[in-house]
């Protein structure tokens, strides 16, 4: 555990030293192992921008101004704007529209995100948290993210028929952004 405050520049150097000591470069660790979704054979994903692309979508966020953002980490290759990638879980094709690099309070449009980088894609329709995007000629599925079981259960219902569509849309966004909150719709 590290303590500090960036505002007063206390502990910042200790944090940066800890990052160097405890968080190795992608080049210093063995290649990530994935599996071929068709044959089940292991596939090594080298942290090299020249290799076929392999990226893991680790978060979905709905931004009120720009829409659905899929945050991804590129483990191998390069993800480029305008390219088509394969969802290694569903084996469906996804088009990479806009690519952005996120900062605390702003976004920067980029043309590509390379191995070892984190970025966000706008407009992915069929990809959810924990799924793998890869080059079409080399399908790969990375280890899926496992989520803990929910510890509370809650029933939500609209006050009127007019609110039903709004509630349905809000619950779908919640499920997209937080997969453990999967809803089981009931009638009544």
pTM: 0.78
* Residue 5 DSSP code: B
Rg of the chain over all Cα atoms, to the nearest angstrom: 19
Q: pLDDT digit string (tens) for 147-167?
A: 777 788 878 888 888 888 888
Q: What is the residue extent of each domain of the chain?
A: 24-134, 148-188
Main-chain dihedrals φ then ψ at residue 143, nearest 5 degrees: -60, 130
Average pLDDT by stretches of 10, the chain with 188 residues: 89 91 82 90 92 94 84 95 94 94 87 94 89 94 82 82 84 72 51
* Residue 180 DSSP code: G
Half-sphere exposure of 86 (CA within 13 A, CB side): 18
Which CATH architecture is the domain 24-134 placed in?
Beta Barrel (2.40)
Q: pLDDT digit string (tens) for 108-129?
A: 999 999 998 999 999 888 898 8
């Amino acid at each position: 555990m590290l303590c500090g405050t960036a505002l007063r520049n206390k502990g910042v150097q200790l944090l940066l030293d800890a990052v160097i000591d405890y968080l190795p470069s992608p080049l210093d660790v063995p290649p990530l192992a994935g599996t071929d979704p068709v044959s089940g054979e292991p596939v090594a994903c080298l942290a090299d921008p020249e290799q076929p692309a392999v990226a893991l979508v680790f978060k979905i966020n709905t931004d009120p101004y720009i829409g659905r953002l899929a945050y991804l980490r590129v483990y191998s290759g390069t993800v480029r704007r305008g390219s088509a990638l394969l969802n290694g879980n569903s084996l469906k094709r996804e088009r990479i529209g806009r690519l952005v690099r996120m900062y605390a309070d702003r976004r920067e449009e980029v043309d590509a995100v390379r191995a070892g980088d984190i970025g966000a894609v706008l407009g992915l329709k069929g990809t959810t948290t924990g799924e793998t995007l890869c080059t079409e000629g080399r399908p790969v599925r990375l280890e899926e993210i496992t989520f803990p079981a929910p510890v509370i259960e809650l029933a939500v219902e609209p006050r009127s028929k007019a609110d039903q569509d709004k509630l349905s849309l809000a619950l779908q966004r919640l499920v997209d952004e937080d997969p453990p909150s999967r809803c089981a719709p009931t009638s009544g």
